[in-house]
């Protein structure tokens, strides 16, 4: 409600209104609360003065309001009353009085200070508040010293409308290091000259999203970012807001971040286009009820979820800028709540920045270099270190091992094993005599973590620790940090894990530490973690990965050794059964020439959420964490076909995919549709002056110009296909734009793959050279490929290489060509090859190939000459053209 001008200028009116507000608030108190308020008010002093007890002892609500006004004056009386209500534990009443005071009396004395004058004060406050950040070990360090630049790439429209393919040279959006220029570009103009009002920074857990957001806030306060665009910026941690007791308004949240309680909040909020709100961890926001409307008024008291929903949906301060951080687990669900978001992917450390981080972490230069060299030689571990938090854990463990002169090879190659090694390293500092007690405490800590994870809670009040007998325990000191959270009336003490990912790790660990007999209800078992609503399980992704990783036989032995007890095999069996059940609910390959044909002929893409499309990749990450080939093989038996669609493969994605392919069961099919590669960050080596002069003078030798062909980014995948234990039966690459380097590596896999029987190459933009090397792989005597599908408009130019494979291939019996036109001369050559005695082809499908009348006659003649050869085309033998996707078999 707006304040009348007369009210502002009238002392009498202000006094009367203050008295009314005080009386209304005090009348809301119970008799016990009113008694407690009188006793607390006796000690309340302002400028050394307090109301004598004789005036308070028998006063009712009306008398108390009058005494407060007379003794302190109207507005100071309201401040004294609010503070006293806090001390009297009347939180709701104090909150209501505060809101009424703000609404009627405005922000107080500093209202005389203009917003333009307050900007400087606010910036200085932000600089002071965020100059330091806490390390996981609770040590505070300067943010400029702690922050290591990350790779950040804005999402390009090309990634949505058209897949860039697997060719690494196609780079629609290059990842940039997170300097002020990159941060400024987040809200830069797009191709149409429009600035986004909502930017989403997304990436996996521990990738550095929160740190990047805090650095953006700090750099803005330092005057380095959004110059002349943003007057005030606010950092809102979503999880804390969701767990905050009682309702709150956006105005109150803004006031909480101001240096004075009398900040000009109303004037600040009056120009939303000059505001920036940083919503950290927006993926924590649970789906709300369908009838719950988002907040629209910044002064409306509402629960945290409605306030956040209002900001994200732009019903609340629609002109304000939003910077949202979120895990990339269910981006489709999150983007449904946002209004026209511009997405940017946080890709973690480049190889160069990994080295910088190691040297920042280790103070000893020699120790830093030794640790870095060890990690770099462990290819998988080095890849994992692109995640800053994992990098911190690895450095922490390596420092302890180096200081104790331990074997560095203990450091393993999965996220789970790295976390487990870190936990056991921390526990090793405890005396051996405390072992049994700590083991019991760890079980209780796991129970606390699991309860919080399943219920979307990261902060635990003291009563939760007391209930589990953890308050003051050794594990509380080691793994929990104390935090003071502003409550409705007073600060509350809560505890949280040193990092959110540690809570998720202990939650997963609890399922293996828990005695089966203690699981009295189904909700306590692993099914509660795995079988929940998919939409609600986004925040459980990392916990699920950890659970899979802990099922490794060696990890289970480590758990028994360090945490005591015997780990039951039942959890492992339950998880395996769940994976197989998930596969049974997935769609199988489309029949040849039906749905897939229609999709390739230009039908619209299905409207599916990105999270759903990449779900099989998340499953593969879980299986990779187990590092047990036998388990992976059993699990994938429930997934006869794995389809990855519109995935931008990172280096770690390919490590995971390759491992699972190496372990897949016989009969496995893999389809990559419209996939792309995250461009590698390669540092170009500068030539020395002598070499550059030598080259410019034409002195380079012929030996220097002949280089060994570089392996393609998918080399590890194709190498896995040649493993003798790989059961991959069918591989389909669709709309992936295969470069020549990739074709070379695939050709070797076609030659040596023990189980590969079917290959599909559909609309991949193969070059003539690429098709030539693939044909050479098919023609090799060891090749076992029996069925080949090639759909490519420009097939005619390189058809001679394909027909060469038909003449020489020992196994190829089925060839399907599509979406192309073959000239009469090419068909004549094809017919000659089909008549060749050594050609083993039994089925030739030309369903969607354009052929002339002469070519049709030649194919008809081949059919007569070789009755055992089945040739499929819509017009052969005078048949009418069948419906799309169907042909006649001869």
- DSSP letters spanning 504-516: HHHHHHHHHHS-G
Between β-strands 460-461 and 491-497, what pairing exists: parallel, antiparallel or unpaired? antiparallel
Can you tell me the distance from the alpha carbon of 793 to that of 762, in angstroms, rounded to the nearest whole number?
10
Residues 340 and 324: their CA atoms lie apart, in Å, by 13
**Dihedral pair phi/psi, residue 784, rounded to 5°:** -110, 5
Separation between Cα atoms, residue 307 and residue 323, nearest integer Å: 15
160 CB-near residues (< 8 Å, 6+ apart): none
| Residues forming a β-bridge with 644 | 672
Q: Are 430 and 474 in contact (CB under 8 A)?
A: yes
For residue 665, give the nearest of 583, 563, 571 by alpha carbon. 583
DSSP 341: P
Q: How far is CA 524 from CA 58, 449, 513, 848, in A?
A: 54, 13, 13, 56
Among 549, 393, 526, 551, residue whose Cα is nearest residue 453? 526
Positive or negative: CA dihedral 789, 792, 793, 799: negative
Strands (E), 185-274: 198-203, 232-237
Query: 730: alpha, beta or left, given left = phi > 0 and alpha = psi -120 to 50?
Result: beta
Residues of the chain scoring pLDDT < 70 = 1-11, 47-48, 106-114, 135-139, 156-175, 177-178, 288-291, 329-333, 335, 409-411, 432-433, 485-491, 515-524, 532-538, 585-614, 678-710, 877-890
Look at residue 287 and give its three-state secondary structure: coil
Please tell me the predicted confidence (pLDDT) of residue 101. 84
CB 614 within 8 A of CB 330: no
Q: DSSP letter at 539?
A: G
d(CA 216, CA 786): 56
Query: What pLDDT is stored for residue 672 in this prediction?
Result: 95
Q: Which residue has the tokens 């599916």?
A: 608
Interaxial angle between packed helices 61-72 and 11-27, expressed in degrees from 0 to 180 and rounded to the nearest 10: 140
Quote the CA–CA distance of 384 and 844 in Å, as a whole number.
46
DSSP 798: G
What is the β-pairing status of strands 641-645 and 668-673? parallel
User: How big is the CA angle at 690 (ends 684 and 695), to the nearest 5 degrees?
Assistant: 75
| Distance in angstroms (rounded) separating the CA atoms of residues 335 and 216 | 22
Quote the CA–CA distance of 796 and 620 in Å, as a whole number.
38
- Beta-carbon contacts of 197 under 8 Å, excluding residues fewer than 6 positions away, are 314, 319, 320, 321, 322, 339, 340
Scanning the structure block, which residue is given the tokens 């030598």?
694
Task: Please report the pLDDT score of residue 169 as a whole number.
Answer: 37
Residue 612's pLDDT is 38
Predicted TM-score of the model (pTM) = 0.73
How far apart, in whole angstroms, are the C-alpha atoms of residue 614 and residue 610? 6
pLDDT of amino acid 685: 46
Alpha-carbon Rg for the chain in angstroms: 34
Rounded Cα gap, residues 852 and 874, in angstroms: 13
- pLDDT of the residue at 740: 86
List Cα–Cα distances, 864 to 186, 530, 814, 869, in angstroms: 66, 58, 18, 9
The CB density around residue 199, as the number of other CB atoms within 10 Å, is 25
CA 436, CA 840: separation in Å to the nearest integer? Answer: 70
What residues form DSSP beta bridges with 669? 641, 730
Q: Given the structure tokens 């493993």, which residue do they identify?
A: 723
User: What six digits make up the tokens of 535?
Assistant: 């939409």
680 closest CA partner among 383, 428, 314, 401 = 383
Are 316 and 275 contacting, i.e. CB atoms less than 8 angstroms apart?
no
CB atoms within 10 A of CB 66: 16
Please, are residues 785 and 814 in contact by the beta-carbon 8 Å criterion?
no
Encoded tokens for 218: 């700090």
Backbone dihedral angles phi then psi of residue 669, each to the nearest 5 degrees: -120, 140
């Amino acid at each position: 409600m707006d304040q009348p001008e007369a009210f502002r200028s009238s002392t009498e009116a202000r006094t009367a209104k203050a008295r009314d507000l005080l009386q209304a608030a005090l009348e809301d108190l119970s008799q016990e609360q009113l008694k407690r308020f009188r006793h607390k008010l006796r000690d309340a002093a302002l400028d050394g003065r307090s109301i004598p007890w004789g005036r308070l002892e028998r006063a009712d609500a009306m008398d108390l309001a009058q005494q407060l006004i007379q003794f302190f004056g109207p507005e100071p009386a309201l401040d004294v009353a609010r503070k006293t209500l806090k001390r009297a534990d009347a939180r709701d009443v104090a909150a209501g009085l505060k809101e009424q005071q703000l609404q009627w009396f405005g922000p107080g004395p500093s209202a005389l200070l203009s917003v333009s004058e307050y900007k400087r004060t606010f910036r200085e406050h932000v600089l002071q508040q965020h100059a330091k950040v806490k390390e996981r070990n609770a040590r505070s360090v300067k943010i400029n010293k702690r922050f290591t630049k990350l790779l950040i790439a804005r999402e390009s429209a090309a990634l949505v409308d058209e897949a860039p393919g697997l060719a690494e040279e196609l780079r629609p959006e290059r990842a940039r290091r997170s300097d002020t220029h990159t941060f400024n570009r987040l809200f830069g103009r797009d191709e149409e000259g429009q600035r986004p009002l909502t930017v989403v920074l997304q990436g996996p857990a521990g990738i550095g999203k929160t740190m990047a957001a805090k650095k953006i806030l700090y750099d803005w306060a330092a005057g380095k970012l959004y110059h002349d665009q943003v007057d005030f910026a606010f950092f809102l941690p979503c999880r804390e807001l969701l767990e905050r007791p009682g309702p709150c308004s956006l105005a109150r949240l803004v006031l909480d971040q101001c240096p004075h309680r009398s900040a000009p909040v109303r004037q600040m909020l009056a120009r939303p286009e000059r505001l920036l709100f940083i919503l950290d961890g927006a993926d924590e926001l649970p789906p709300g009820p369908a009838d719950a409307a988002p907040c629209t008024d910044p002064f409306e008291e509402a629960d945290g979820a409605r306030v956040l929903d209002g900001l994200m949906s732009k019903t609340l301060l629609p002109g304000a800028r939003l910077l949202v951080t979120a895990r990339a687990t269910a981006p489709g669900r999150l983007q449904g709540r946002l209004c026209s978001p511009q997405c940017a992917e946080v890709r973690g450390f480049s190889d160069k920045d990994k080295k910088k981080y190691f040297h920042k972490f280790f103070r000893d230069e020699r120790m830093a270099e030794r640790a870095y060299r060890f990690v770099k030689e462990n290819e998988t571990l080095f890849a994992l270190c692109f995640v800053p938090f994992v990098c911190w854990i690895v450095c922490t463990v390596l420092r302890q091992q180096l200081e104790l002169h331990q074997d560095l090879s203990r450091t393993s190659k999965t996220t789970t094993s790295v976390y487990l090694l870190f936990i056991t390293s921390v526990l090793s500092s405890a005396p051996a005599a405390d072992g049994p007690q700590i083991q019991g405490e760890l079980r209780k800590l796991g129970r606390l973590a699991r309860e919080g994870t399943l219920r979307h809670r990261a902060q635990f009040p003291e009563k939760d620790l007391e209930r589990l007998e953890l308050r003051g325990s050794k594990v509380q000191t080691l793994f929990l940090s104390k935090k003071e959270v502003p409550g409705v009336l007073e600060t509350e003490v809560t505890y949280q894990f040193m990092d959110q990912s540690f809570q998720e790790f202990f939650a997963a660990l609890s399922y293996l530490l828990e005695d089966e007999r203690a699981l009295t209800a189904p909700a306590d078992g692993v099914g509660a973690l795995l079988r929940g609503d998919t939409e609600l399980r986004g925040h459980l992704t990392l916990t699920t990965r950890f659970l899979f990783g802990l099922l490794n036989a060696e990890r289970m032995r480590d758990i028994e050794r360090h945490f005591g007890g015997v780990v039951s095999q039942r959890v492992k069996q339950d998880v395996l059964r769940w994976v197989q059940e998930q596969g049974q609910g997935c769609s199988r390959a489309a029949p040849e020439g039906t749905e897939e044909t229609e999709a390739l002929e230009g039908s619209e893409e299905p409207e599916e959420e990105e999270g759903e499309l990449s779900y099989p990749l998340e499953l593969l990450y879980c299986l990779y964490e187990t590092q047990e080939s036998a388990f992976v093989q059993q699990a994938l038996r429930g997934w006869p076909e794995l389809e990855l669609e519109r995935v931008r493969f990172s280096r770690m994605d390919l490590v995971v995919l390759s491992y699972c392919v190496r372990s897949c069961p016989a009969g496995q099919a893999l389809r990559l549709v419209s996939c792309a590669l995250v461009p590698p960050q390669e540092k170009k080596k500068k030539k020395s002056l002598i070499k550059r002069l030598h080259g410019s003078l034409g002195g380079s030798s012929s030996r220097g110009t002949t280089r060994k062909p570089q392996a393609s980014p998918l080399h590890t995948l194709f190498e896995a296909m040649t493993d003798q234990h790989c059961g991959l039966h069918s591989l389909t690459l669709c709309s992936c734009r295969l470069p020549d380097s990739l074709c070379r590596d695939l050709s070797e896999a076609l030659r040596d793959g023990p189980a590969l029987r079917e290959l599909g190459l559909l609309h991949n933009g193969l070059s003539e050279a690429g098709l030539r090397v693939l044909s050479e792989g098919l023609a090799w005597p060891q090749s076992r490929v029996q069925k080949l599908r090639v759909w490519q408009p420009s097939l005619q130019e390189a058809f001679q290489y394909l027909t060469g494979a038909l003449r020489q291939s020992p196994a190829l019996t089925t060839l399907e060509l599509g979406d192309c036109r073959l000239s009469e001369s090419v068909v004549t050559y094809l017919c000659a090859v089909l008549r060749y005695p050594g050609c083993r082809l039994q089925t030739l499908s030309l369903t969607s190939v354009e052929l002339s009348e002469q070519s049709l006659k030649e194919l008809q003649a081949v059919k007569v000459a070789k009755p055992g050869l089945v040739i499929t085309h819509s017009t052969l033998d005078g048949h009418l053209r069948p419906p799309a996707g169907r042909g006649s078999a001869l």
